[in-house]
Amino acid sequence: MRYEPLSRFPALRTRDVDELRQRLSGLFSVWSMDLGRGGQRTFEGCLNHRQMQDVGVTYARYGSPLAVCLSHGDTYLQGFPVRGRGSVVNDGMEGEISPGCGAVCGPNADMRIKYSSDFEHLILRIKPQRLVKTLSELIGRPVDPLRMATNIRPVPAMAVAQRRLVEFVAFELDRVDASLPDLVLAELEQTLVVSYLNCNLHNYSHLLVRDPVRPVAPWQVRLAEEYIEQNWDQPVTVEALAHVANAAIRSLFFTFKKSRGVSPMAFVRQVRLRHAKEMLMHATPETTVTSVAYTCGFSNLGHFAKYYHTAFGEHPSETLRTARK
Percentage, residues of the chain above pLDDT 90: 67
Per-residue pLDDT of 54-90, as tens digits, reads 999 999 999 999 999 999 889 999 999 999 999 999 8
Per-residue pLDDT of 211-235, as tens digits, reads 665 778 999 999 999 999 999 999 9
Mean predicted confidence (pLDDT) in 38-55: 91
pLDDT for residue 38: 73
pLDDT for residue 163: 93
How many Cβ atoms sit within 10 Å of the Cβ of residue 249? 27
Confidence at 1, pLDDT banded by 50, 70, 90? low
Per-residue pLDDT of 110-166, as tens digits, reads 999 999 999 999 999 999 999 999 999 888 889 989 999 876 677 777 888 999 999
Q: CA 182 to CA 179: how far, in whole Å?
A: 9
- Please, are residues 99 and 139 in contact by the beta-carbon 8 Å criterion? no
Q: CA 189 to CA 16: how far, in whole Å?
A: 32
- Ordered by where they begin, the domains of the chain are 10-127 (2.60.120.10), 267-323 (1.10.10.60)
Instruction: Determine what percent of the chain falls in helix, strand and coil, rounding each to the nearest 5.
Output: 45, 20, 35
Distances (CA, A) of 176 to 179, 225, 289, 296: 7, 35, 16, 19
Q: CA 52 to CA 75: how far, in whole Å?
A: 14
274 sits in which H/E element: helix 264-281
Q: CA 124 to CA 196: how far, in whole Å?
A: 9
